[in-house]
Each structure stands twice: as structure tokens, then as C-alpha cells.
Amino acid sequence: ILNVEQSPQSLHVQEGDSTNFTCSFPSSNFYALHWYRWETAKSPEALFVMTLNGDEKKKGRISATLNTKEGYSYLYIKGSQPEDSATYLCALCSNDYKLSFGAGTTVTVRA
Amino acid sequence: EAGVAQSPRYKIIEKRQSVAFWCNPISGHATLYWYQQILGQGPKLLIQFQNNGVVDDSQLPKDRFSAERLKGVDSTLKIQPAKLEDSAVYLCASSPTLAASYNEQFFGPGTRLTVL
């Protein structure tokens, strides 16, 4: 089990504003980092899988970066919309392909 | 492609009662997972199946929890008897192979269990 921390635990954003939050981990001894989005009453869905230091991924207004040397990943939401309201989970895939999840960052976008 | 199905979506029971959850993974996915997510925490792996065999159940409280995956498809997770601390969301996930996309998993909507 890998130690994964996410901050902040929750945040409120005004519609149209951009925001970002962090996933941090103490070790670079893992295969990949996953980001999932979990909307209320729905299934968690995969956003990104990142493996290399310096990786950057983008899907629409959401993007993520990975820094394995300093042990963090950022997820950015540009021009937040109400449909971005969700809990964003970060998970590390260890060498035995187990996923260790952080507690998540819950984003609420206010219209 | 149909996603991972779970039922029931919500369940309220009293402590010491029994409860069972059902999961139908994506067709063809060999690996199936049950996670427990307690409020304020990340999902914690309870048990992992590869086809119909158990790969990892090290974090399953075996005195009260049991799980099976008959014929390598559907799975059930049972709690007997339930305790207050079992209140959580129980997520089922599946993946085609461990190496595919570094074990990207496909999740069901979860079962929210409240133990009174």
C-alpha cells in the first residue's frame, strides 16, 4: 500500500474561475499515477494515467502534470463549469499493479 | 459497452444484521475488485479476483466479510454480522488485464451502506 495524500480536501470555485489541486506521494517507486473523477450518484471514471516524470495530459478543460522527482501531481480545471463538480481521486499503481487511493478533493462549482 | 453494474444502490440495516452486494463486471474483464470507501477516506481494496480465484484478500475482515466470484463473472460480497463501522460505499471495479493501461479500472456506481 502506497501513501497518497490529496489537498485540499474540498474547495469551492466560482463558475468561470480556474483551479488546481494536488496529489502528493513520498516515493517514486510506482508504475503509474491515475486520476479519477467521481460525480455524485455516478461511477468513478478514469481521467488520466501518467507514467513519466514531466508527463502532461489534457482532456478538454482539465489537465494534469506529474513530477515524480518531487513527488506530486497537479490537476487543473480551466474555466470551471457546474458539471465539473465532483470528487477527484488520485491513485498510485504499484509494481504489483495494486491501486492505492488518496482521500480525494471535492470540487463544488458555484454558478 | 455496458459498464460495471452493482446492486442495490443503497442499503440501510441495523447492526448485527446481514447484507449482500452484487456486482456484474464488464464482459470479458478477468479481474474484479471490491473496495470499501469510508467517508473522508480513499477507497480501500478488500479483495481482488482473477477469473474465479482470489488474488489478494489481505485486507478483508474475514471474521465477518466474505466474497465469491462464481464462474469468473458475477461476484457477491457479504457482511455477516454488520457493525456500525461498516457504514461505507462499497465499490466494485473490473479491469481486462493488470497490465492494460497500468491497471486502469472501471468502476460501478457503488452501494452505499448505512448500519444503524
| pLDDT(A25) > 90 | yes
Residues B109, A41: C-beta atoms closer than 8 Å:
yes
Contact call for residues A8 and A105 (beta carbons, < 8 A) = yes
A99, three cell numbers? 491501486
pLDDT of residue A31: 86
> How, if at all, do strands B5-7 and B19-24 pair?
antiparallel
What residues contact residue A97 under an 8 Å CB cut-off, 6+ apart? Answer: A31, B98, B99, B102, B103
Q: Among B56, B104, B108, select the one facing A34 at the smallest CB separation.
A: B104
The lowest-confidence range among A50-54, A103-107, B87-91, B112-116 is: A50-54
For B65-102, the pLDDT digits (tens) are: 999 998 889 999 999 999 999 999 999 999 987 666 77
pLDDT at A96: 84
Which residues on A lie below 8 Å from B105 (Cβ)? 46, 99
Cα gap B13→B25, rounded to integer Å: 25
Q: Is the pLDDT of residue B1 over 70?
A: no
Give me chain A's average pLDDT, please: 94
pLDDT, position B82 = 98
Give A28 or A53, the one with higher predicted confidence. Answer: A53
Distance (Å) from the C-alpha of residue A105 to the closest C-alpha of chain B? Answer: 10
**Residue of chain A whose Cα is closest to the Cα of B40:** A103
Span A15-29, average pLDDT = 92
Alpha-carbon distance A104 to B40, whole Å?
8
As a whole number, mean pLDDT of residues B54-67 equals 96
Q: Choose the mutation target among A97, A100, A105, A106 for the interface with B, i.e. most B CBs under 10 Å.
A: A97
| DSSP state at residue B51 | T
The distance of A40 to chain B (nearest Cα, Å) reads 9
Q: Do A99 and B91 touch (CB under 8 A)?
A: no
Please list every residue in chain A whose beta carbon sits closer than 8 Å to the beta carbon of residue B43. Answer: 89, 101
Q: Does residue A7 have a pLDDT over 80?
A: yes
Residue with cell 491501486: A99
Q: What local confidence, expressed as pLDDT, does residue A97 receive?
A: 84
Q: What is the C-alpha separation between A88 and A33, in angstroms, rounded?
A: 13
**What local confidence, expressed as pLDDT, does residue B42 receive?**
96
Q: What percent of chain B has pLDDT over 70?
A: 96
CA A78 to the chain's CA centroid: 14
Average pLDDT, stretch B33-61?
95
Q: pLDDT tens digits, residue range A35-79?
A: 999 999 999 999 999 988 888 999 999 999 999 999 999 999 999
% pLDDT > 70, chain A = 100
CA–CA separation, B62 and B46 (whole Å): 10
Phi-psi domain of B71 (left: phi exceeds 0; alpha: psi -120 through 50; beta: other): left
Q: A28 falls in which pLDDT band (50, 70, 90)?
A: confident
Smallest Cα distance from A93 to chain B, Å: 7
| CA–CA distances in Å: residue B44 to residues A14, A71, A80, A91, B59 | 32, 21, 29, 11, 8
The tens digit of pLDDT for each residue in B24-39 reads 999 999 999 999 999 9
